[in-house]
Structure 1
């Protein structure tokens, strides 16, 4: 494995980690909204029992 391939693999992994963190942050934010607002936007019923990202 040469250096550019290692760098690319690290960047891809870091990108996946950042995506997971962003998804978790969004889900926490949506879960923190008042129940009536969550109901109005269909959270989490619209996306299944596990929320949007699972």
Structure 2
């Protein structure tokens, strides 16, 4: 394994961590909105259906 492969693996891992943190931050922000506003934008239904397709 050369240095570039290790660096690429670390970058991939850091990218996944960053994505997970951003998703959590977004969920917290959206859940703080009033219920009627969340309903108007389709939260969490739109998010949940999108996550189901990722698995």
Q: Provide the aligned C-alpha RMSD in A.
A: 1.9
Ranked by relative contact order (alpha carbons within 8 Å, sequence separation 6 or more), the top structure is 1
Q: Which structure shows the bigger proportion of residues in helix conformation? A: 2
* Runs of 4 or more consecutive aligned structure 1 residues displaced over 6 Å after TM superposition: none
Structure 1: stretches of 5+ with no match in the other structure: none
- Output one character per residue of 1:24-48: Cα deviation in whole Å (capped at 9) or x when no partner: 1111111110111011111113344
- Output one character per residue of 1:7-38: Cα deviation in whole Å (capped at 9) or x when no partner: 11000000010001001111111111011101
SS across alignment from 1:43: coil
Count of equivalent residues:
52
Structure 2: stretches of 5+ with no match in the other structure: none
Q: What is the TM-score normalised by the length of structure 2?
A: 0.78
> CA–CA distance in 1 between the matches of 2:50 and 2:30?
10
1:1-54 alignment, distance < 5 Å = 1-48=1-48, 53=51
